[in-house]
Amino acid sequence: VTAIDVRSPEARRRIDRLERIWEEPRGLLGWLTTTDHKRIALMYLAASLTFFAAGGAEALTMRTQLAQANEHLLSPETYDQLMTMHGVTMIFFFVIPLSTGFFGNYLVPLMIGARDMAFPRLNALGFWLFLASGLFVYTAVFIHKAPNQGWFSYVPLADRTFDPGPNVDFYNLGLMLNSLASTVAAINFIVTIIRLRAPGMSLNRMPLFCWAILATAFSLLFALPSLTLANVLLELQRKAGFHFFDVARGGDPLLWQHLFWFFGHPEVYIIVLPAFGIATSIIPTFSRRRMVAYPLVALAEVMVAFIGFGVWVHHMFSTGLPSSTLLYFAAASLVIVIPSGIQIFAWCMTMVTGRPEYKTPLLFVVGFIVFFVLGGLSGITFAAIPVDQQLTDTYYVVAHFHYVIWGAAVFPVLGGLYYWWPKVTGRMYHERAGQLSFWLVFLGTNLTFFPMHVQGLDGMPRRVYTYPAGQGWGSLNMLETVGGFVIAAGLLLQLGNMLWAIRRGPPAGPNPWRAPTLEWRTSSPPPEYNFAVVPTVSSAYPAWDAGDFEVDRGRLERGELVLDRGHETPATTLQDGWLDEVLEMPSGSFAPVVLALFLCLAAAMVLLGHYAVAGMALGLVALTLVAWHGKEAAATLVDRKRAGLPNGLWGIALALASEGALFALLIGSYYYLRFHEAGWPLPGDPEPRVVVPLVLAFLLVATSVPMQLAVRAARRLELGRARGLLVVAIVVQAGYLAYQLQLFTDDLHKAGPSRDAYESVSFTLLGAHHAHVLVGVLLTTWMLGKLALGPTGYRLTAVRAIALYWHVVNVLGLVVTGVILSARV
């Protein structure tokens, strides 16, 4: 099976038109403004591999320090920073950006037959924010003020009392930027997968890799608010004297652990799920057969992500929680093995019943299965509460999570790099060198991490910068250090092999592996427009369907679904992939990189305590957003009839779902603190007002009526009426905000948030809601200006999106008021 060969001059002219339409500027300008998912993916690849090199160097330095007892290569302070940076780098700046940022971005549109991601500029913004967050945190390394409390940054150690430098502030602010990057990327993946699949690609024909990315994206969307909230609360405590985690003022340090691990455990699956997707792509190709139990594997990927949200407390089994609490989470931690087991059996059965050809990518996947089983088995021991309580904080834990995160998550990624390198570069790598690199990394991994089980059982604590002689740990530590360098040798060989392929590798052709998914039905590397004709799909393995290929050839000749009139891609229905509309996609822009720059500037100014400048930077962010949305595609001048919701509405709905999760967690934090105190409000705190906040909350809810009527009027193209209704809404909303801010300021003078935990959490809750109202007022004002310019499909969607935003903010207003008033009960 090969890419379509062009037979007629008319087909050639169509392809020439596509090339002209999708061409992007070359050079630095092209990279800064690109919205092509493949180029963005390549930038993710370059950046994440650079961070990987930094994280690897940190690991090797630590292993050298630990090779013998009483080594003094590193001071304790430097070791703490290296250990923290290793964890933060590998998780936030290497594995996730590589597996979702590179593989996800490069492959998802190709695998589903789309020409780009649903929101190309948002895609670019995600990359630039990720890069900004990485550079922001690494700035701290160069001034020797790197984060130093471990990747989980537990309080009270991370509080200003014990860590007065800017180290933890770099961590908090850097991860906030990183979370924003991952959230926009997650929204983009979800909308792309549910809306941009090629016609015919119903849910039962979607590639398993896309199921994995979909599950990952949903996990990111609902897990990241917890990390962001934890970072915000800690930063407020450090910078503004709030008391969320301060026991002396009614706070609770365990609240940090709950928030962190509610993110942290799903994070493990966020890291591993794309690896599952890579394995399920590689195994059928080299086994020459379809994946066994496709529905169950797809389901297992989603189920792992879902149950992953219900097991976080197993990271806290030794913190003295009630026994009844522990049992709930022990049960869930045991059952999550089932979906993982389903996949392991499916992978093994596919290989056993197929004709496996052990090329380098499949070798890495076999290695992954071995490590996943071993890491899974040691993981089960942590679900057993008494065992967990004995082994916690020992090297056994380090062994377990490296088998899972390094062995199970990174091995498929390394295999995936070999597998898709011919697609990305158009060149084949050197097979023998590839196999040698696998064996080096496989042996090195076992040498490094297997002895840590023994050390942990022998009582060696983790997070120590050195250890005394005579404990019996010296020889195992030396072995682990040697293993670390063997891994490094294998990785360097892989890097050399991939670079060799770019320069000297033999041409790969469109499908060198005879692989089954759609990305192999286009040339290697793919053109900017991905496919000359929107591909036909009639199974989950479309590149094995020779008949579909003939249909595509005919369509290209006839000009059917070539979409060569503009920057276009088809959109289809969610469940069954029926063609719904043709979308005009935005092209390159400076706005994403500029926006990321201003956000990073705001974070830096907060770090330095220049809050006014940070505010100005946020103002520039708002102006950049206005410029971003200044130019609309010509094809969106009319509102179309469609079966599904427009992409913009999907995007805002998902963003609001994530915001809703953040508010739910903040409200949960409020009640967590409340019920850990004997009295609430705390002694001496004024009780909250009742009548005025209730009246204001209902007044705000009432603005949903003019907002919804404005939507209806706009859809009927009665723009004057729509603008009038928006003005009514905005007057009430602005009045509400002004009055609330006055109350807020009065309360600040009576008893500020730095008084105790009750005041801290109440002010934060109210402040978060007021900030959302402020954003809503700005959005409605912008919408008024846009509607004055006349109707377009884009603007009609924007009116609906802003109305949806207000409905959610209004309901949240009622809920927040109820929570604050509940203190009187």
Residue 471 is a binding residue for other proteins (CB under 8 A)? no
- Which of 199, 444, 651, 776: binder of other proteins (CB under 8 A)? 199
Instruction: Identify any residues that bridge with 461 across adjacent strands, giving them in sequence order.
Output: 394
Task: Count CB neighbours of 500 within 10 A.
Answer: 14
Nearest CA to 500 out of 612, 421, 562, 383 is that of 421
The radius of gyration computed from the CA coordinates of the chain, to the nearest angstrom, equals 27
Nearer to other proteins, 110 or 332 (CB): 332
Residue 711 near residue 788 (C-beta atoms within 8 A): no
Contacts of range 432-435, beta carbons closer than 8 Å, 24 or more positions apart: 433/493, 433/496, 433/497, 433/500, 434/359, 434/360, 434/494, 434/497, 435/360, 435/363
CB-based burial of residue 126 (10 Å sphere; 0-12 exposed, 13-18 middle, 19+ buried)? buried
- What's the min distance (Å) between Cβ of 672 and other proteins? 7
Residue 344 is a binding residue for other proteins (CB under 8 A)? no
Two structure tokens written together for 384: 């057993």
- Which of 353, 389, 471, 742: binder of other proteins (CB under 8 A)? 389
663 CB-near residues (< 8 Å, 6+ apart): 768, 769, 812, 815, 816
Q: Stretches 129-137, 222-230, 530-538, 632-640: which one binds other proteins (CB under 8 A)? A: 530-538
CA 778 to the chain's CA centroid: 27
How long a stretch of residues is the chain? 825
Residue 390 is a binding residue for other proteins (CB under 8 A)? no
Burial 577-596 (b: 16+ CB within 10 A, else e): beebbbbbbbbbbebbbbbb
Nearer to other proteins, 19 or 581 (CB): 581
CA distances from 39 to 32, 86, 419, 540 (A): 10, 27, 18, 27
- What's the min distance (Å) between Cβ of 578 and other proteins? 5
Q: Please give the full DSSP string across 178-213, using - where no structure is assigned.
A: HHHHHHHHHHHHHHHHHH-PPTT--GGGS-HHHHHH
Residue 633 is a binding residue for other proteins (CB under 8 A)? no
- What's the min distance (Å) between Cβ of 300 and other proteins? 8
Nearest CA to 394 out of 310, 318, 447, 336 is that of 318
Nearer to other proteins, 338 or 789 (CB): 338
What string of H, E and C letters represents the secondary structure of 208-259? HHHHHHHHHHHHHHHHHHHHHHHHHHHHHHHHHCCCCCCHHHCCCHHHHHHH
- Which of 551, 734, 774, 823: binder of other proteins (CB under 8 A)? 551
Q: Stretches 316-324, 437-445, 596-604, 630-638: which one binds other proteins (CB under 8 A)? A: 316-324
- Number of residues engaging other proteins in binding (CB under 8 A): 60
- What's the min distance (Å) between Cβ of 479 and other proteins? 35
- Which of 451, 577, 586, 793: binder of other proteins (CB under 8 A)? 577
- What's the min distance (Å) between Cβ of 215 and other proteins? 13
- Which of 2, 75, 353, 575: binder of other proteins (CB under 8 A)? 575
- What's the min distance (Å) between Cβ of 201 and other proteins? 8
Two structure tokens written together for 447: 């040498």
Residue 307 is a binding residue for other proteins (CB under 8 A)? yes
CA 535 to the chain's CA centroid: 29
Q: Stretches 235-243, 441-449, 511-519, 536-544: which one binds other proteins (CB under 8 A)? A: 536-544
Interface characters, 202-221, with other proteins (x: CB under 8 A):
xxxx----------------
Q: 581 by DSSP, 3-state: which?
A: strand
Nearer to other proteins, 327 or 692 (CB): 327
- Report the C-alpha gap between 533 and 15 in whole angstroms: 9
Residue 513 is a binding residue for other proteins (CB under 8 A)? no
- What's the min distance (Å) between Cβ of 593 and other proteins? 38
Residue 35 is a binding residue for other proteins (CB under 8 A)? no
Residue 71 is a binding residue for other proteins (CB under 8 A)? no
Backbone phi, psi, residue 234, to 5°? -65, -40
Two structure tokens written together for 356: 């496996």
Q: Stretches 200-208, 393-401, 522-530, 775-783: which one binds other proteins (CB under 8 A)? A: 200-208
- What's the min distance (Å) between Cβ of 708 and other proteins? 25
Sign of CA dihedral 33, 35, 38, 44: positive
Nearer to other proteins, 131 or 201 (CB): 201
Task: Count CB neighbours of 125 within 10 A.
Answer: 27
- Which of 453, 674, 770, 772: binder of other proteins (CB under 8 A)? 674
Site for other proteins in 232-291 (CB under 8 A): 290
Interface characters, 581-620, with other proteins (x: CB under 8 A):
----------------------------------------
- What's the min distance (Å) between Cβ of 283 and other proteins? 17
Q: Stretches 10-18, 143-151, 507-515, 672-680: which one binds other proteins (CB under 8 A)? A: 672-680
Element (H, E) at 580: strand 579-584
Residue 30 is a binding residue for other proteins (CB under 8 A)? no
Q: Stretches 135-143, 322-330, 699-707, 729-737: which one binds other proteins (CB under 8 A)? A: 322-330
Residue 142 is a binding residue for other proteins (CB under 8 A)? no
Interface characters, 676-715, with other proteins (x: CB under 8 A):
xxxxx-----------------------------------
Residues making contact with other proteins (CB under 8 A): 199-205, 290, 294-296, 298-299, 303, 306-307, 309-310, 313, 320-325, 327-332, 334-335, 338-339, 342, 385, 389, 536-540, 548, 551, 575-580, 671-672, 674-680
